[in-house]
């Protein structure tokens, strides 16, 4: 996608204009705007290909190049974004697409038109399938746009060609464009479309960037215009007056300075410890976790080692990869989650039929039913690492299974992991069935970790990728909070650790609720940690308990959050901009 480069800023030359949208996360930024131009389209009068066979070769090469570049970007990133990019790359390599393109070439269309028409046919089929499959139309279109741009020779002044720091604006941000963002240059993201839980929001959270979505008219603003983005307020001010620029910059610097001051272990104001752990997928993430003085890793997503590969990694390759995370964390807890793939996150070497409801299909721990070797190899690799550690460190390697629904699954996994020499074994609680039976589950395990992302999805029967269902996916929904509370209560009753590693743990206000309920650890993206640390340290355990009590008593998500806000320290609310953000 092309980018219109900023040429000049315009402080004070035009009256400011305030555009509003939905703020995602917190934070403020001021910088010139870069507008990502819409991708080039096949010209309406494109002549038909003179030689369809040669045209097809060119098109195939374009698809290959796009697929390879997406796969390379996936490999260079992590987390949800890497998954999205990998899935997009696999679409570029789909041979069925070329068959369809060939048909359109034979019908007399030009190359770019043939690709556009073929992609449209696939998009219709994906939309007809509905649900999560339909969401992949965005990915398909992003592949189409890149291939068409190559065919038309319109590929791209990229963002990295632009000097200085800037705010990125786009109609929506395709995963492939998001992957190109350099967090040292991009200071905020603004889009016209997208939901607060959509791709853009995921990427912004991962990069720790302020973001406002659903801002009508942002792409019509001239490139280079100075804008002040306030994610807490959900506003973008064009041509902000100099005093606003000064105030916004001062606020950003003050927040950064205040957050940087505290690097101590997580604890309440009265000194009750709550371990602050990091969610990571790569060695780079682990470095970021070290930078924010995380007390360990609360969720190592091992998927990244597997996605994009044509064959399963060997036990030795796995051990090497896990060592890359364990070594920088020596002396600290590392919770390794076994593979959470299957269904809509297919692996090329997994021979699995497609499923009508992938989110409800064979994913996570359920893969043991069909491919037991995968889990066995992971546990063998981890067990070997544990066996090679000094005695004092062996208790630091914890392992947990994703998508556990029954006590039987928990017991089987625990037996298996312990047989491989891993001493501390647990499960994610992200299926309502597991939360409802948390006491029984914990009787089999040493700990559990609540995955609020999937727990919200399955409790509310709302696809976690669906931006238009964001009200249902709100993590303050009473039903979700009830299940979180029930799970933590089981841990408190049995004297076993219950952590939270979904997005809830990275929200400073929700963190107070979780601490008040008795969560023993909070695990989040490294970017979220300083604000959570500050919020927890500013409140006593008694105050956190009060917050939890009033929140659990609320009948809807907006009321729950507003009540938490009402009891939170006003200085923290002001500093972190918590008051103006959120669904209420
Ligand atoms: C969750 O579901 O909350 C979770 C942490 O796991 P993931 O986001 O990887 O599904
Ligand atoms: Mg999950």
Pocket probe for ligand 1: among 83, 428, 455, 458, the residue whose CB has the most ligand atoms within 8 Å is 428
Cβ atoms of 139 and 160 closer than 8 Å:
no
Q: Quickly tell me which residue has 């929700």 as its tokens.
A: 510
Question: Residue for token digits 């302020």?
Answer: 210
Rounded CA separation 444/417 (Å): 12
Q: Of 256, 289, 311, which marks where a domain is finished?
A: 256
pLDDT score of 92: 87
Asked if 143 contacts 126 with a C-beta cutoff of 8 angstroms, the reply is no
Same domain assignment for residues 535 and 494: yes
Q: Do 444 and 344 sit in the same domain of this protein?
A: yes
Name the domain count of the chain: 3
Tell how far the Cα of 80 is from the centroid of ligand 2, in angstroms: 11
Q: Which residues pair with 397 in a beta bridge?
A: 334
| Cβ-based neighbours of 392, under 8 Å, separated by 6 or more | none
Spacing, Cα 261 to ligand 2 middle (Å): 32
- Which of 78, 454, 475 to mutate to test ligand 1, by most ligand atoms within 8 A of the CB atom? 454
- Strands 28-36 vs 211-213: parallel, antiparallel or unpaired: unpaired
**Final residue belonging to a domain, choices 235, 256, 277:** 256
Model pLDDT, residue 527:
84
Specify if 312 maps to a domain.
yes
Q: How far apart, in whole angstroms, are the C-alpha atoms of residue 354 and residue 363? A: 12
Is residue 584 domain-resident?
no
- 412, 477: one domain: yes
Q: Is residue 195 part of a domain?
A: yes
Same domain, 66 and 29: no
pLDDT by residue for the chain (584 residues), tens only, comes to 445 444 444 455 789 999 999 887 778 899 999 998 777 889 989 999 889 999 999 999 999 988 888 887 777 666 666 767 777 888 888 888 999 999 999 999 999 999 999 999 888 877 776 555 656 777 788 889 889 988 988 755 455 456 679 999 988 877 667 666 776 788 999 999 877 656 667 667 667 788 898 899 999 999 899 999 998 788 999 999 999 899 888 888 888 899 999 999 999 999 999 999 999 988 888 988 999 899 999 999 998 777 667 788 999 999 999 999 999 999 999 999 999 986 556 677 777 787 888 889 889 999 999 999 999 999 999 999 999 999 999 999 999 999 999 999 999 999 999 999 999 999 999 999 999 999 999 999 999 999 999 999 999 999 876 656 878 988 999 999 999 999 999 999 999 999 999 889 999 999 999 999 999 999 998 888 999 999 999 999 999 999 999 999 999 999 999 999 999 999 998 888 776 543 33
Distance 79 CA to ligand 1 centre (A): 10
Q: Cα dist. 197→25, 78, 211, 234, 457 in Å?
A: 11, 18, 12, 15, 12
Whether residues 147 and 222 fall in one domain: no
Closest CA to ligand 1's atom 8: 453
- Element at 398 (helix H, strand E): strand 397-401
CA distance 251 to 260: 14
Which atom of ligand 1 is least distant from the CA of 454? Answer: 2
In the chain, DSSP finds a helix count (H) and a strand count (E) of: 21, 17
Nearest atom in ligand 1 to the alpha carbon of residue 299 is 5
The two structure tokens encoding residue 572: 């923290």
Instruction: Say whether both 62 and 25 belong to one domain.
Output: no
Say if residue 449 is in the same domain as residue 532: yes
Q: For residue 364, how far is its CA from the centre of ligand 2 (angstroms)?
A: 9
Say which ligand is closest to the CA of 79: 1
Which ligand sits nearest to residue 451's alpha carbon? Answer: 1
Q: Which residues contact 211 (CB under 8 A, 6 or more apart)?
A: 23, 24, 25, 188, 189, 190, 191, 200, 201, 204, 231
Q: Does a structural domain hold residue 219?
A: yes
Q: How many residues does the chain have?
A: 584
CATH code of residue 240: 3.50.30.10
Ligand approaching nearest to the C-alpha of 453: 1
CA 372 to ligand 2 center in whole angstroms = 20
Angle between helices 478-494 and 557-567 (to 10 degrees): 60
Q: Is 236 helix (H, G, I), strand (E, B) or coil?
A: strand
Task: Return the residue whose CA atom lies nearest to atom 4 of ligand 1.
Answer: 451
For residue 361, give its domain range. 262-575
Q: Is residue 203 one of the residues assigned to a domain?
A: yes
**Cα distance between residue 7 and residue 390, in whole Å:** 58
- Ligand 1 atom nearest the C-alpha of 502 is 3
Q: CA nearest 280: which of 264, 262, 296, 260?
A: 296
Q: Which residues contact 49 (CB under 8 A, 6 or more apart)?
A: 55, 105, 109, 110, 111, 114
Residue 447 belongs to what H/E stretch? strand 447-450
Catalytic residues: 199, 501
Q: Is residue 10 part of a domain?
A: no
Same domain, 268 and 252: no
Take atom 3 of ligand 1 and give the residue whose Cα is closest: 451
Written as six digits, the tokens of 3 are 């980018």
Q: Are both 385 and 290 inside the same structural domain?
A: yes
Read off the CATH number of the domain in which 430 is found. Answer: 3.20.20.60
Q: How many CB atoms lie within 10 A of CB 494?
A: 14
Domain boundary pick from 204, 230, 256:
256
Which atom of ligand 1 approaches the CA of 501 most closely?
Answer: 5
Ligand 1: nearest atom to the Cα of 303: 9
Check if the beta carbon of residue 324 is closer than 8 Å to that of residue 304: no
**d(CA 3, ligand 1 centre) in Å:** 33
Residue 8 lies in a domain: no
Give the ligand 1 atom nearest the CA of 449: 5
Closest residue by CA, ligand 1 atom 10? 454
Task: Cite the DSSP H helix spans in 107-156.
Answer: 111-129, 131-151
> Ligand 2: distance of its center to the CA of 452 in Å?
7
> Ligand 1 pocket: which residues have CB below 6 Å?
299, 301, 340, 430, 451-454, 501-502
The protein residue whose alpha carbon is closest to atom 9 in ligand 1 is: 301
Separation of alpha carbons 514 and 507, rounded Å? 10
Q: How far is the CA of 297 from the centre of ligand 2 (A)?
A: 16
Distance CA 24, CA 82 (A): 20
Ligand 1 test: best mutation among 502, 522, 525, 528, most atoms within 8 Å of CB?
502
Model confidence, pTM: 0.75
Regarding whether 228 and 138 lie in a shared domain, the answer is no
- Residue 441 is classified by DSSP as H
- CATH number where 100 lies: 1.10.274.10
Q: Is residue 160 a part of any domain in this protein?
A: no
235 and 267 in a common domain: no
Q: What is the pLDDT of residue 8?
A: 46
Strands 211-213 and 22-24: what pairing?
A: antiparallel
User: Do 171 and 70 belong to one domain?
Assistant: no
> How far lies 77's CA from each of 82, 150, 342, in Å?
6, 24, 20
């Amino acid at each position: 996608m092309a980018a219109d480069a900023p040429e000049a800023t315009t402080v004070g030359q035009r009256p400011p204009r305030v555009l509003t949208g939905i703020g995602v996360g917190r934070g403020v930024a001021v910088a010139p705007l870069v507008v990502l131009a819409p991708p080039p389209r096949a010209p309406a009068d494109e002549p038909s290909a003179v030689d369809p066979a040669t045209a097809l070769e060119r098109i195939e090469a374009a698809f290959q190049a796009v697929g390879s570049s997406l796969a390379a970007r996936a490999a260079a990133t992590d987390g949800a974004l890497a998954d999205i990019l990998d899935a997009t790359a696999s679409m570029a390599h789909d041979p069925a697409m070329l068959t369809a393109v060939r048909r359109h070439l034979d019908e007399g269309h030009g190359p770019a038109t043939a690709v556009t028409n073929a992609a449209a046919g696939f998009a219709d089929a994906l939309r007809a399938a509905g649900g999560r499959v339909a969401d992949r139309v965005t990915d398909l279109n992003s592949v189409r746009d890149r291939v068409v741009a190559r065919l038309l020779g319109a590929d791209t002044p990229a963002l990295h060609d632009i000097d200085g720091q800037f705010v990125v604006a786009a109609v929506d941000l395709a995963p492939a464009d998001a992957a190109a963002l350099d967090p040292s240059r991009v200071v905020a993201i603004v889009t016209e479309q997208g939901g607060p839980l959509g791709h853009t929001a995921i990427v912004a959270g991962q990069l720790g960037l302020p973001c406002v979505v659903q801002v009508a008219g942002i792409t019509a603003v001239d490139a280079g215009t100075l804008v002040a983005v306030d994610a807490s307020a959900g506003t973008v001010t064009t041509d902000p007056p100099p005093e606003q620029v000064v105030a916004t910059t001062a606020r950003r610097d003050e927040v950064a300075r205040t957050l940087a001051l505290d690097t101590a272990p997580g604890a309440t104001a009265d000194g009750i410890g709550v371990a602050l752990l990091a969610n990571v997928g790569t060695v780079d993430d682990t470095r970021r976790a070290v930078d924010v003085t995380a007390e360990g890793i609360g969720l190592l997503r091992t998927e990244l080692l597997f996605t994009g590969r044509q064959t399963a990694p060997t036990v030795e390759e796995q051990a090497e990869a896990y060592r890359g995370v364990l070594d920088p964390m020596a002396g600290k807890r590392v919770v390794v989650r076994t593979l959470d793939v299957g269904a809509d996150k297919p692996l090329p070497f997994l021979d699995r039929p497609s499923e009508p409801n992938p989110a409800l299909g064979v994913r996570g721990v359920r893969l043991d039913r069909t491919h037991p070797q995968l889990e066995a190899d992971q546990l063998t690799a981890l067990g070997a690492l544990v066996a090679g550690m000094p005695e004092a460190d062996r208790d630091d390697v914890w392992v947990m299974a994703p998508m556990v629904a029954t006590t039987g699954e928990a017991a089987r996994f625990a037996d298996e992991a312990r047989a491989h020499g891993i001493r501390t074994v647990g499960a994610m609680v992200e299926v309502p069935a597991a939360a409802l039976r948390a006491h029984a589950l914990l009787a089999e395990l040493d700990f559990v970790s609540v995955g609020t992302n999937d727990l919200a999805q399955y409790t509310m029967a709302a696809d976690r990728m669906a931006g238009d269902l964001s009200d249902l996916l709100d993590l303050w929904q009473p039903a979700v909070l009830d299940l979180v509370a029930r799970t933590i209560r089981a841990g408190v009753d049995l004297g076993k650790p219950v952590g939270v590693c979904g997005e809830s743990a990275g929200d400073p206000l929700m963190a107070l609720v979780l601490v008040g309920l008795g969560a023993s650890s909070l695990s989040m993206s490294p970017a979220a940690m300083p604000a959570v640390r500050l919020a927890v340290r500013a409140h006593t355990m008694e105050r956190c308990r009060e917050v939890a009590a009033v929140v659990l008593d609320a009948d809807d998500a907006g009321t729950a959050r507003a009540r938490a806000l009402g009891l939170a320290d006003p200085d923290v609310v002001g500093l972190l901009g918590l008051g103006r953000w959120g669904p209420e």
